[in-house]
Amino acid sequence: MANQVVMGAMMSCSFGTAPGSLLVTSNQTVLSSGMPAATIMDFAPIANIPPFAMCTSIANPQVASATAAAFGVLTPMPCVPVTTGPWVPGAPTCLIASQPALTDSSQCFCAWGGVIQISFAGQATETVA
């Protein structure tokens, strides 16, 4: 069973250098363990998914440029997530504000090749099917 993700859940990006904390904006009325429950629509860069410190993806134009300037030595640059769509798969049988609930097994993808995953759901007492 997957855990319901709530405001403050910890997540990481495969190309980021530090974890980030999820901000829930899609729902402010449904609570789980006293915190707003997240949906798959909580995927907006900065508003929901904060930067992960530095980006190490060579697909990121800033990283590619800095790396070229350093004669091929990988040079991380500040992370600015560029999410390409909602979290997948979510929990289609558990709707919050008419959207599937976000679970700790869901993933979100960055245009620079990063895979964003939930490392801690923010609470561990509520499970969804």
pLDDT at 125: 65
Give percent of the chain with pLDDT exceeding 90.
90
Asked whether residue 94 is assigned to any structural domain, the reply reads: yes
Q: Provide the CATH number for the domain around residue 116.
A: 2.60.200.60
Q: Which domain holds residue 14?
A: 2-124
Interval 44-68: pLDDT, tens: 999 999 999 999 999 999 999 999 9
Structure token digits, residue 57: 């993806």
Asked whether residue 129 is assigned to any structural domain, the reply reads: no
Asked whether residue 114 is assigned to any structural domain, the reply reads: yes
Confidence of residue 70 (pLDDT cuts 50, 70, 90): very high
- Which single residue is written with the structure tokens 């997948």? 88
Whole-model pTM over 0.85? yes
Amino acid letter, residue 72 = G
Among 59, 55, 8, CA closest to 32: 8
User: What is the pLDDT averaged over residues 74-100?
Assistant: 96
Gap between the Cα atoms of 88 and 73, Å rounded: 34
- How many independent structural domains does the chain possess? 1
